Each structure stands twice: as structure tokens, then as C-alpha cells.
Chain A
């Protein structure tokens, strides 16, 4: 473990440090310490560039895993900071005062996953969808096919094959018998 991992562990309880590549590492913090961790990384550790922020729906564990990727351009190193927030009550501190572009990512996460960032500018406005009335559509318990069938008129007669079984039947017809 390197100096930065020790420092983060001591200051913010960061754990599970993982060197994914030579220039990319990841670590996990508690969501309550997310804002402080990112502020310290930005102001004191040289990770001044927020290059990406998104969420992953880990429905098996009942959490959304937020991922913030920050980059230190002087050392050529990127760090992914993960934090698990409760799926039932997804509220996270906004980082728009640390990075100006942060509110765009947060608006996206609000619309796609329903994760709230109180105080983030325009977070309640629609982002890419217009007039969307369904539940947040990137949540994994949202049934896209059922929604599509209920909302959009289909053309009768469409047949869909499972690619694996279809090709097996066509290429090796004797195997199915």
C-alpha cells in the first residue's frame, strides 16, 4: 500500500485499495465521508480534475455504488472513489462547489437512478428525457420490455430468436434431436 492509500485510510477510513492499472487505482469510502474525501483529494493531494462521476445499481446488495474518478495530471494517476449508498434512501452530498461540472453528473444520476443531491443546481429538471413519467429507467428493477410493450404500439408478426439456440439449431440440427 502506498502513501496515499495510508493517508486516505487514516483520514477518511478509506478501504479496499486496488491498483487496477499502473495509472488507475480505486478505493472505497463511506458515503458520509465522500465529500470530505474528494475535497481533500482536490485541495491537498493534487487530484484536481473530476473526469467522471456515475452510479451503478448493485441491486443484489441493496445499494447504489457511486463512482467518482479524479485525476492527478502531475503524477499521471487516476483514482476512482467508490461509495455505497442505500437504495431505499439514496441521498448524497452534492459536489458542485468542488467542481463546477459536478452538477451535470448529478442531474444525470437524479434522472436515471433517482439519487438525490440536495442543493445541486437544477437537479430536479429533466436531463435527457422529455416528459418522462415512469420510474428512473436505469434502475435494474425497471422492466424496459414491459414498459415498451405497454407504451409503444408494435407491429404484429415479429419473431425474435435467442441467438445461441437459433444458431445451434441452424448449424448443428442433429444435436437438438
Chain B
């Protein structure tokens, strides 16, 4: 038996009141097990050609998604379209800076997304804090809290840069190298410890599934 098959201990969900703990998932996320050979290639092709992004603008960078939706840049021609709920989306676009208050919603939304899921982080703020490098309430790098597949630099990045980033994401998915979700499952305790370090009023399940 490989290590992967060992079932980890259930999550404590200590942030919830005792009578609500049973209502939520207490299992940690597991790694995705790919199908064999050509089936996985086919699945990766399908995933890369229908990127459904979560319509949750977490920061000012989300304004750059609006031109993408309209006719000038038209992301629909690449199979990219926004979805209203995390359950229906496969790509989470972190739109720039994330305050601690937003980070809580980011974590919750990311965990509620169904796999396979990918994260595109746009703007300097997600990479090293950008202009919010000395802010009391804004995290400096998003990859401490959720895994990131593609970064797009700029403040703000132009819509062309976003399209290039999505093309890069497609290439990564086609090659089967979009490991963000597995990384999250492998390092779940590390991510969770980082999240709980900055989100002081943790009042949600440990894994929001």
C-alpha cells in the first residue's frame, strides 16, 4: 500500500460551534488520481478548452476581466467564460490585492470549487505585495495560502497579458503539469496553518467542501 491510501485523521473543525461541527466535511482534500494514458490526455484537452472562471473579483485587478468579456478582447473564443458559483468553475482568478477579510472568502471559495481547479493570480500584489507591501491588512503573497498555477505580472496587467496568461495556463493543463490542486492536498496542513495565522477569527470549517 502506498502512503496515499492511508486515510488521514478527521479534521477537528474547531472554529465552529460544537453542535454545527457534524454538518460539515471533516475529511482533508485528497490528491487527484489521473486516468490512464490517452484518457487523461483527452481529459486534459477538454479541461484546457473550457476554462470556466469564478466570477469573484477579489481586488481592483478584477476590472481587467470586464474588457475580456466584451467584443474587443472576447475571451469566449478561447472557451473562457465566467460562472456565478464556485461549484461550476474551474479557474479562480485572484484579482490583485487580497485583504485578510477577502482572503477568508478566497479560501472558502477555492475549497468549494470542484476539481480539477486552477488558480491564476494577476497583478503585482499577489506576487510580492505590490503597492500594499506595508499595509496592515493585506497579505503579501497569495501562494502562502492557496496554490497558484500561473502568475500574470503588472499593475494592472493589460487584457492582452491576461489572455497570454490563460494561454499559458492552457499549455500547462495540456501538458498535465497543473498541479496546484494536488499541491494543496499534499501540503494541506502547511496551507491551513498559514491561513489560520492571518485569519484570526476562524469561524468556518477547516476544509470548506
Interface residues of A (CB under 8 A from B): 128-134, 137, 142, 144-145, 147-148, 151-155, 157-158, 160
Contact = CB atoms under 8 A, between A and B. Distances in A.
Interface secondary structure of B, over-half rule: loop
Contacts of B101: 128-130
A137 B133 CA distance: 16
Given A130-B100, A131-B199, A155 B137 contact: no
B140 interface: yes
Interface secondary structure of A, over-half rule: loop
B115 to A, nearest CB: 26
B201 A155 contact: no
A152 B128 contact: no
Q: Which of B128, B140, B197 gathers the greatest number of chain A CB atoms within 10 Å?
A: B140
B201 to A, nearest CB: 3
Contact of B141 (A130, A144, A153): A153
Interface residues of B, number: 23
A129 B137 CA distance: 8
B169 to A, nearest CB: 21
Contacts of A151: 136, 197-198
Contact of B133 (A131, A134, A157, A160): A160
Contact of A153 (B138, B140, B199): B140
B133 A148 contact: yes
B200 A155 contact: no
Counting from the closest, the 5 A-B pairs by CB-CB distance are A131-B201, A131-B200, A145-B134, A155-B128, A144-B136
